[in-house]
């Protein structure tokens, strides 16, 4: 038994088909998304809702140190020690139903980011240092999310107040994931299919390990990792803000094979809790106005009742849909 993991559950019920190859994701240059590449950004959001981002300005050295230290702390410490750490979780943090906890083969560290955090974290053991690195990395994420969102807000015609409150730097969160070697990787997932509840999410994955898949036209496609780039997911709040025009992409992560493991970092940008999410004036929407807080409470209630997130379909403008 791997001491870094809890004991493996018995008899999992699924049998996974291999993912399809050949998915071509758009590649966007962060330096140009507000100008020359704005049309390409909008096209990516309307089509699949996922794209690759280059020239993002996050130092490769910072990314490397984070993934390496994450691998050491999560991969080399026993489960019993890790579970005492603040922010540590086993299973999908956002979907902590019993079913998901048992079935999803991953672990991670969760950090709620607050402005100024990076300069406050002191030197210390590995767990303190990784939070400091995550906070520094989080500053880059907030910068990137703001730039992407501002370009989309201008395109959608959001007013100044909506542009400010629909993406709140104070409400970003960061998760470092480890998908440990899984004894039964063809009948188990690392993270089950979902859309993200954020405005947008930014993923950094180890470049030599795949596992992320997206759903397109009813089939699962592999997303091949590429050195130095970030992956951006359009998420539920942006789908609602755009009145249903932009796509919150459905994705999942395979469990790591018995001889591999995968590290990734995922940043989620959220609106202010009480901001009323709605399409800009004059644009029709398939959703009724709601707040981020209302959405979160609904997701929690659905997971508690059924084990699943229902998501945006709870917020259709008419009940007849």
Ligand X SMILES: O=C(O)CCC(=O)C(=O)O
Catalytic residue list = 262
CB atoms within 10 A of CB 30: 21
Confirm or reject binding of residue 266 to ligand X (CB under 6 A): yes
Confirm or reject binding of residue 169 to ligand X (CB under 6 A): no
Q: How large is the angle between the packed helices 126-156 and 60-76, nearest 10 degrees? A: 130
Chain position carrying tokens 């300069």: 119
Task: State which of positions 206-245 bind ligand X (CB under 6 A).
Answer: 212
Which structure tokens are listed for 44? 């990516």
Confirm or reject binding of residue 50 to ligand X (CB under 6 A): no
Please give the full DSSP string across 134-194, using - where no structure is assigned: HHHHHHHHHHHHHHHHHHHHHHHT--HHHHHHTS-GGG-EEEEEEE-B-TTGGG-EEEEEE
Confirm or reject binding of residue 169 to Fe ion (CB under 5 A): no
Q: Which of 58, 95, 188, 253 binds ligand X (CB under 6 A)?
A: 253
Q: Residue 269 Cβ, how far from ligand X at the closest point, in Å?
A: 12
Q: Residue 268 Cβ, how far from Fe ion at the closest point, in Å?
A: 8
Nearest to ligand X of 92, 285 (CB atom)? 92
Strand pairing of 50-54 and 212-216?
unpaired
H helix intervals, 5-55: 38-46
Which structure tokens are listed for 43? 């096209």
Confirm or reject binding of residue 53 to ligand X (CB under 6 A): no
CA distance 311 to 143: 27
Q: Which of 247, 264, 285, 292 binds ligand X (CB under 6 A)?
A: 264
CA distance 113 to 98: 27
Q: Which of 131, 250, 251, 309 binds ligand X (CB under 6 A)?
A: 251
CA distance 313 to 250: 14
Nearest to ligand X of 150, 207 (CB atom)? 207
Confirm or reject binding of residue 269 to ligand X (CB under 6 A): no
Confirm or reject binding of residue 196 to Fe ion (CB under 5 A): yes
Confirm or reject binding of residue 56 to ligand X (CB under 6 A): no
Nearest to ligand X of 139, 264 (CB atom)? 264
Task: List, in sequence order, every residue forming a beta bridge with 176; answer none if it has no partner.
Answer: 109, 265
Q: How large is the angle between the packed helices 38-46 and 126-156, nearest 10 degrees? A: 100
Size of the site for ligand X (CB under 6 A): 11
CA distance 83 to 106: 13
Task: List, in sequence order, every residue forming a beta bridge with 251; answer none if it has no partner.
Answer: 194, 214
Which structure tokens are listed for 60? 């490769």
Q: Residue 316 Cβ, how far from ligand X at the closest point, in Å?
A: 23
Q: Residue 251 Cβ, how far from Fe ion at the closest point, in Å?
A: 6
Q: Residue 248 Cβ, how far from ligand X at the closest point, in Å?
A: 11
Confirm or reject binding of residue 90 to ligand X (CB under 6 A): no
Confirm or reject binding of residue 113 to ligand X (CB under 6 A): no
Question: Which residues here bind ligand X, judged by CB under 6 A?
Answer: 175, 177, 191, 196, 203, 205, 212, 251, 253, 264, 266
Question: Which residues here bind Fe ion, judged by CB under 5 A?
Answer: 196
């Amino acid at each position: 038994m791997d001491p870094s993991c809890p004991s493996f559950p018995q008899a999992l019920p699924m049998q996974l088909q291999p993912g399809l190859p050949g998915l071509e994701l758009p590649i966007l240059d962060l330096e140009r998304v507000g100008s020359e590449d704005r049309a390409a950004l909008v096209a990516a959001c309307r089509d699949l809702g996922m794209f690759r981002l280059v020239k993002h300005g996050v130092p490769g050295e910072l990314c490397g140190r984070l993934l390496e230290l994450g691998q050491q702390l999560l991969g080399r410490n026993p489960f019993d020690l890790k579970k005492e750490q603040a922010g540590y979780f086993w299973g999908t943090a956002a979907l902590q139903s019993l079913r998901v906890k048992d079935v999803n083969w991953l672990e991670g560290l969760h950090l709620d980011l607050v402005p100024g955090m990076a300069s406050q974290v002191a030197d210390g053991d590995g767990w303190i240092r990784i939070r400091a690195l995550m906070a520094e990395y989080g500053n880059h994420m907030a910068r990137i999310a703001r730039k992407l969102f501002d370009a989309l807000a201008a395109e959608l015609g959001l007013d100044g107040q909506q542009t400010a409150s629909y993406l709140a730097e104070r409400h970003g969160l960061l998760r470092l994931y480890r998908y440990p070697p899984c004894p039964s990787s063809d009948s188990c997932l690392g993270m089950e299919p979902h859309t993200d509840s954020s405005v947008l999410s930014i993923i950094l994955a180890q470049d030599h390990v795949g596992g992320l898949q997206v759903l397109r036209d009813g089939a699962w496609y592999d997303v091949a990792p590429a050195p130095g780039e970030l992956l951006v997911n359009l998420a539920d709040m942006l789908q609602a803000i755009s009145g249903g025009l932009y796509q919150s992409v459905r994705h999942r992560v395979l469990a790591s094979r018995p001889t591999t493991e995968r590290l990734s970092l995922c940043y989620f940008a959220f609106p202010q809790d009480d901001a009323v999410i709605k399409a800009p004036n004059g644009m029709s929407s398939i959703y009724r106005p709601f707040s981020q807080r209302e959405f979160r409470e609904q997701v929690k209630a659905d997971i508690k009742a059924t084990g699943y997130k229902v998501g945006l379909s709870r917020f259709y403008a008419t009940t007849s849909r």
